[in-house]
């Protein structure tokens, strides 16, 4: 997992509440177990018209937001099913941070496990960030995970909370496998002793 320390990029406004995981990545794209290639299907039903052509009115199709790294969203983001493809699709598109008033628990956990920083803020702070994001290509927002600060294009900063353990995992790029491999020496030593003591296993 790529470490997350500092992030600066365009913030895209998506002030919709109850955006569920089927909206983030529709069910027909869940056939793969790879984490790559899903970015083109992100918000597929919002990004495309019924005839399959691009919907120019959807925020991520607008030229100013096609390279967005941050998403400013509405409450209860990521509700619905527990599909891990949802953070995979966001990450593959290039979004590494989602800021919303609240998140569904499983989606929230899956974000941390895949290198995305979910930040929950009061609605008043979200409204300020949505206003900043409305500036299009000039909506450069920077996030400092070490300082736990979000700074907008006008220089104003907002503090945010994050679980200390999850913060360290993101800063170091530790997913569940990475956390296990930190103890690789002890695991190998245990396996070597166990093989000597129980060679029939």
Look at the chain and report how many structural domains it folds into. 1
Any domain includes 192 = no
The token pair at 178 is 């990475």
Task: Determine the structural domain holding residue 118 and report its residue range.
Answer: 6-174
Any domain includes 168 = yes
Any domain includes 81 = yes
Predicted local distance difference test score (pLDDT) of residue 181: 67
Q: Angle, nearest 10°, between helix axes 85-93 and 105-113?
A: 50
The token pair at 125 is 């702070």
What is the rounded distance in angstroms from the CA atom of residue 122 to the CA atom of residue 68? 22
Any domain includes 183 = no
For residue 73, the domain's CATH number is 3.20.19.10
Predicted local distance difference test score (pLDDT) of residue 127: 96
Predicted local distance difference test score (pLDDT) of residue 91: 97
- Give the SS3 label for residue 197: helix
DSSP secondary structure of 29-70: GTT---SSS-GGGTTHHHHB-TTS-B-TTSGGGSGGGTT--E
53-92 pLDDT per residue, tens = 999 999 999 999 999 999 999 999 999 988 899 999 999 9
Any domain includes 36 = yes
Any domain includes 201 = no
pTM for the model: 0.89
Any domain includes 66 = yes
112-170 pLDDT per residue, tens = 999 999 999 999 999 999 999 998 877 799 999 999 999 998 889 999 999 999 999 99
Any domain includes 191 = no
What is the rounded distance in angstroms from the CA atom of residue 189 to the CA atom of residue 194? 9
Distance from CA of residue 37 to its chain's centroid?
16
- Give the SS3 label for residue 58: coil
Are 75 and 130 in contact, with CB atoms under 8 Å apart?
Answer: no
């Amino acid at each position: 997992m790529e470490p997350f320390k500092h992030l600066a990029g365009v913030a895209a406004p998506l002030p919709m509440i109850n955006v569920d995981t089927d909206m983030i990545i529709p069910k027909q794209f869940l056939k793969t177990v790879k984490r790559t290639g899903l970015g083109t299907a992100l918000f597929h039903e919002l990004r495309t018209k019924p005839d399959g052509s691009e919907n120019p009115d959807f925020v991520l199709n607008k030229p100013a937001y096609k390279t967005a790294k941050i998403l400013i969203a509405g409450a209860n983001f990521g509700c619905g099913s527990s599909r891990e493809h949802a953070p995979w699709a966001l990450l593959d598109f290039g979004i590494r941070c989602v800021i919303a008033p609240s998140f569904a628990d499983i989606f929230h956990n899956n974000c941390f496990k895949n290198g995305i920083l979910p930040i929950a803020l009061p609605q008043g702070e979200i409204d300020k960030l949505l206003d900043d994001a409305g500036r299009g290509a000039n909506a450069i927002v920077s996030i400092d995970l070490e300082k736990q600060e979000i700074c907008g294009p006008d220089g104003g900063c907002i503090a945010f909370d994050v679980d200390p353990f999850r913060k360290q995992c993101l800063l170091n790029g530790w997913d569940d496998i990475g956390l296990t491999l930190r103890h690789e020496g002890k695991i190998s030593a245990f396996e070597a002793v166990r093989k000597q003591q129980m060679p029939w296993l």
